[in-house]
Amino acid sequence: MWQILGVNAMYVELADMWKYRMIEIAEDREDGKKFIELMKDVEVSHMLNGSTEIHTFYVELPESFSPEDIQFLADVILDVANTSEAPFISLEEEYQHCQVIFTNDKEPEIIGLDKAEGYSAGAAFMPVLTSWGKQPNQNTEF
């Protein structure tokens, strides 16, 4: 069974459990209130790289966060990692390597209701589609 900071979790809920446990642990800290307020605004996702066996927790930040807010989050998370008796993530009580990445990079949505202007599916693939009907360039050096 997977464990996040000492609490059992299923694989599909690792990201949510990590966020929940970080908030739960921060409640006991003197700067915990600020950390909890910031963590409520972030979205956490999880990915396991099967080749390297490294777990990655992506913390997606809103653009409204200042560099000081990001540094504060990083400091608290690092402090929890260094002081917690239980590892961030383990499987069958065996430590698993992990990393935390902060990002606010959003991919433009090319289909759906919230698609970005100029990124419609047709516009994104139009250079490829129009190139199919053109004559290929001749190699004059051959």
Query: Could you tell me the CA-to-CA distances from 123 to 1, 111, 113, 115, 128 in Å, in that order?
Result: 46, 11, 16, 12, 10
Kindly indicate the confidence band of residue 124, based on its pLDDT and cuts at 50, 70 and 90.
Answer: low
User: How many other β-carbons are positioned within 10 Å of the β-carbon of residue 35?
Assistant: 22
Kindly indicate the confidence band of residue 72, based on its pLDDT and cuts at 50, 70 and 90.
Answer: very high
Mean pLDDT, residues 48-74: 93
Supply the pLDDT for residue 39. 93
Kindly indicate the confidence band of residue 126, based on its pLDDT and cuts at 50, 70 and 90.
Answer: confident
User: How many other β-carbons are positioned within 10 Å of the β-carbon of residue 69?
Assistant: 17
Topology (CATH) of 2-103: GMP Synthetase; Chain A, domain 3 (3.30.300)
Least confident of 19-28, 39-48, 69-78, 124-133: 124-133
Supply the pLDDT for residue 1. 85
Handedness of CA 118, 122, 127, 133 (dihedral sign): negative
pTM flag (> 0.85): no
> N- to C-terminal Cα distance for the chain?
62
Listed by start position, the domains of the chain span 2-103, 107-134
